[in-house]
Amino acid sequence: MTPNGWTQVALFLALLTAIAVPLGGFMADVLEGRRTFLTPVLGGLERWCGRLAGVNAAEEMSWKRYAVAMLAFNLVGLAVVFALQRLQGFLPLNPDHLDAVPGHSAFNTAISFATNTNWQGYGGESTMSMLTQMLGLAVQNFVSAATGIAVMAAFLRGFSRHDARTVGNFWSDLVRSTLYVLLPLSLALALVLVAQGVPQTFAPAVHATGIEAARGTGGRPATVQRIVLGPVASQVAIKQLGTNGGGYYNANSAHPFENPTPLTNLLEVLAILVIPAGLCFTFGRWVGDRRQGWAVFAAMTVMFVAFLAFGLWAETHPSPALAALGVDTRATGRQSGGAMEGKETRFGVVNSVLWATATTAASNGSVNAMHDSFTPLGGLVPMALMQLGEVVYGGVGSGLYGMLVFAILTVFMAGLMVGRTPEYLGKKIEPFEMKMASLVVLVPPALVLLGTALAVNVPAGAATLGNPGTHGFSEILYAFSSAANNNGSAFGGLGAMNPFWDVVLGIAMFFGRYALAVPVLAMAGSLARKKRLAPGPGTLATHTPLFVAMLVGVVLIVGALTFFPALALGPIAEHLTALARGGRIPS
């Protein structure tokens, strides 16, 4: 990799840290109800939202009431998105006269956006009307992200409170997250995107006459290109900031209308991680020990950098088959080098791998390159990051509470080694917490592996594969890893817009979100009731480099032990096959 590439990576990490630290403090103030510089502007709107909904924002909830409110709100949102898709042919803001979305696709999409997954088995510009994009998908981008932050806030109250029966108010957490965090950041980013050329209009599609002959559907000559416009910038901003990822266009952030310039590329990839990273420092502020936030942030960053470095190595050292064909893969002043299939020349290898690592470290799923075209080991990186449970920064809110569950597992294992009851942040970790933590850790792998086993054993599962053999298996494994971990990206060779894939992936997305959120809330309720213990001589320090190393080790070992056999059948076997064909190892 060139010095320019290393400079870009270093700049990205420096900017991420510089923004995340103050943002984390601001979000702590917001969620704890303290006055901020936005309170004079938005305080009245916050109170009006509470009155409009008929809820008392000051009324505290038990974890069970909190969970019921969260589930009920999300199910209503799911139903609204489904209805909008099925009725869009009769609704306004449909200048291109798009018909109703098929039922199985509408079912999948409604679950996808309600669960913050944003898996898309359809082409946005050819399937969804402007109204569906705005009122359905973009709104869910806000509230699904706010739901993740709300569940995280309840979990943090479990650590910060003692002898308490409540974990906060879901409606208050939801409104504050949306009004004070997601909306202002999205507005600022959207304005910059518009200034850089991203459309924000209600104008219908325009038609342009090309200067070169082209082929359209069925190989017929095509002289006129249909270019879809719409309220793109507003959706792109929240899709990134809310770790949603669902694109207005089928090509997602590889489309020049969603990501037109190097500046938008940098801002959008930063937006993917800035709130999840900032929440680490929210955690430190909330529990009264900033070192705890830095420890979690350090563990996430160590894993992120390790996977990014491996991905860059894999994509800058492409298959020997390319060298055998005489392809020049060297990095020079005139080309980025490496494996450029499926990548935009305006971004090159470094920015493509950086985006792929960021979007799967977070549960974002947006893409500026085709992951299906990565080298086998390059494609393993985003797949493995999802399989770790989306805890390397992770989704907005969900990434932090997922990592804290791993922290609980870490102190439990450390306690077993020394024969002492484990504690974390002054709270004893007892059988109930371990049962809930086990559910959080085991449900996504079960969904991924059982779903993959089902898909490779029924005709409908393999019927739409774009590739046979090991790569086809990787496409299936990637799809379930993405759905069950609420990521949303895909190996595009899999044709997933059919009843089988829409239903099974929809089920995986649903349980991958809510079968984790409810146990997390149960842990929050249990921890809030416990007394706070003073640290003693045998207390494990959870802010030290030793604990960071232990936490990283637990996350990687759990992921490796769970998924290594499946990865060996997919990307690892594909890599070894490519080496054999290139004469690098005996065939």
Measured CA to CA, the distance from residue 193 to residue 537 in angstroms comes to: 54
pLDDT digits (tens, 9 = 90+) for 197-251: 999 999 888 888 877 766 666 666 677 888 889 999 999 999 999 999 988 999 9
Q: What is the DSSP string of 170-217?
A: HHHHHHHIIIIIIHHHHHHHHHHHHHTT--B-----EEEEEEEEEE-G
Q: How many residues does the chain have?
A: 587
Check: CB of residue 359 under 8 Å from CB of residue 488.
no
Q: What is the mean pLDDT of residues 532-557?
A: 89
pLDDT at 578 (0 to 100): 80
Measured CA to CA, the distance from residue 542 to residue 527 in angstroms comes to: 17
Question: 353, 125, 148: which is closest to 246 by C-alpha?
Answer: 125
pLDDT digits (tens, 9 = 90+) for 430-476: 999 999 999 999 999 999 999 999 999 999 988 888 888 899 999 99
Measured CA to CA, the distance from residue 415 to residue 427 in angstroms comes to: 13
Q: What is the mean pLDDT of residues 498-516?
A: 95
Measured CA to CA, the distance from residue 119 to residue 465 in angstroms comes to: 17
3-state helix, strand, coil in the chain (%, to 5): 65, 5, 30
pLDDT at 508 (0 to 100): 96
pLDDT averaged over the chain? 90
Longest dimension (CA), the chain: 78
Question: What letter does residue 572 receive in the DSSP assignment?
Answer: I
% of the chain surpassing 90 pLDDT: 71
Q: What is the DSSP string of 270-307?
A: HHHHHHHHHHHHHHHHHTT-HHHHHHHHHHHHHHHHHH
Question: In a 3-state reduction of DSSP, which class is residue 221?
Answer: strand
| Residue 178 one-letter amino acid | T
